Structure 1
Amino acid sequence: MYGEQDGWRRDGFESHEGMVGVLLADGSEPGPVFFDLGSGATFHESSDWWHYDGTFRRPTATSMRGRCACGWRGTKTYVIDWEKVREDDDPDAYDTSGPYRDWKAHLDEVAERAVALPEDLASLLGQVREQLDRLWLEENKTRAYATMLKACDALEAIVAETGPEAARALTREQDDEDGSTPSVAEALGMTERAARTRLLHYEHLTWH
């Protein structure tokens, strides 16, 4: 894997977005880099690794490592060859496979701790998606789109009936423990912030 300007993501674990993190010579992790866009008090910030090249008084990173939105940081570091980066003049051309592999291993561990859907349920959901995808190929577009919407109505009704009670039950269970969300977040394969947002979303979900 070579440098990607977008973060690394895995289906079902979107809140665990990964990317290349950097370290300075003293081993510290720098904060975001700010750019003056020349429009008053408007500033743009970025944590993309290639911006820590020492130009325009920016910090100079000496090494990179994998990092995740959940706070995880890879223990293995990889030296950055800035001469190579400048020679290619393209961040995407620089090899970041090491940090990516480490983040991927981290996501594998997250996935192992998360609750897995039963095979029959996962299969049913997959069949629903396949059936809906096939509708795009029908010649009678009006009928196909109407069928899609009716299917969505049925799915939303199921979610509205099941989601709120499941979310409230999880919230009650977590309150009975210690009032925190780590166990729920782990079961859902999410960061704690994403898990709290998901619980609130379903707790107050209504369908008419």
Structure 2
Amino acid sequence: MLVEWDWWTVEFGNVHAGAAGVLIGGREPGPVYFDVGSGPHVPSTTHWTTYDGRLRRPRAEALRGVCACGWRGAAEYPLDWAAIGDQALHEADIDLTGPLADWTAHLSVVRDKTVPLPESLVQLLVEIADRLNTAAVDTPLAALRAAGVLERITTRAAGAAAGMLDDDVSVEAVATALGISRSKALILLMTGRDR
């Protein structure tokens, strides 16, 4: 299934990426499939704008904030079809501030459980990000080279840091402290313990 969401991302990347989710009858519908003729692959999507009732697709009744980690917002934001009229959802002016605010509140809970970064390291990371973004515009090849060097440095540092953890540190504790998935935490721990 192809998932083409308008992801909202932060420092946790894809693990806690958020989007507007659709509700029909109080439940999340399955994906919308596109008939492109014969063949083994049938494209599909769960993007909220495809649930507009056109082409036999179900019509969204409400939106809510959702997160890639599985979290679902409790608040529902009804769609005003009288105001939307015959417009396709991707053409209508839909207010996503409610789902976005709910997802942001979810991230605050996630962030509160993670290990804090020293302020000096936060400042350095912000500066590196700014410089890389500037280089991406001014000298794209240099930015790509710098990103590759940074990736190798961070991979080595992550392995070394994981190797310094006590053997009794659980995968769940690492996942929570870093705001990552259990599988990513397991990979980090295995990499560090193999050193």
How would you bin the TM-score normalised by the shorter chain?
0.7 to 0.9
**Structure 1 unaligned regions, length at least 5:** none
Deviation of 1:89 (Å)? 3.4
Aligned match of 2:94: 94
1:1-208 equivalences under 5 Å are: 6-25=6-25, 27-91=26-90, 93-129=93-129, 145=142, 153=149, 158-159=153-154, 161-170=156-165, 172-174=167-169, 177=170, 181-197=171-187, 199=188, 202-203=191-192
> 1:194–1:97: structure 2 CA closer, same or farther, 3 Å change rule?
farther
Contact 2:6 2:47 in 1 (8 A): no
> 1:64–1:130: structure 2 CA closer, same or farther, 3 Å change rule?
closer
- Aligned equivalents of 1:184, 1:121: Cα separation in 2: 20
RMSD: 3.8
- Aligned equivalents of 2:56, 2:132: Cα separation in 1: 53
Deviation of 1:186 (Å)? 1.5
> 1:185–1:86: structure 2 CA closer, same or farther, 3 Å change rule?
farther
> 1:89–1:41: structure 2 CA closer, same or farther, 3 Å change rule?
same
Alignment partner of 1:42: what SS? coil
Q: Structure 1 stretch 67-76 or stretch 128-137: which is displaced more?
A: 128-137
- Aligned equivalents of 2:67, 2:136: Cα separation in 1: 36
Alignment partner of 1:22: what SS? strand
Give aligned pairs, total. 190
> 1:96–1:87: structure 2 CA closer, same or farther, 3 Å change rule?
farther
- Aligned equivalents of 1:201, 1:157: Cα separation in 2: 18
- Aligned equivalents of 1:61, 1:149: Cα separation in 2: 45
For 2:72, give the aligned amino acid.
R
- Aligned equivalents of 1:113, 1:196: Cα separation in 2: 18
Deviation of 1:132 (Å)? 6.1
- Aligned equivalents of 1:60, 1:7: Cα separation in 2: 21
Alignment partner of 1:183: what SS? helix
Deviation of 1:112 (Å)? 1.7
- Aligned equivalents of 2:105, 2:124: Cα separation in 1: 29
Contact 2:20 2:100 in 1 (8 A): yes
> 1:57–1:160: structure 2 CA closer, same or farther, 3 Å change rule?
closer
Identity level (%): 38
Query: Could you state the TM-score of these two structures normalised by the residue count of structure 2?
Result: 0.74
Contact 1:21 1:66 in 2 (8 A): yes
Deviation of 1:156 (Å)? 6.0
**Structure 2 unaligned regions, length at least 5:** none
Q: Structure 1 stretch 182-191 or stretch 110-119: which is displaced more?
A: 182-191
- Aligned equivalents of 2:121, 2:176: Cα separation in 1: 20
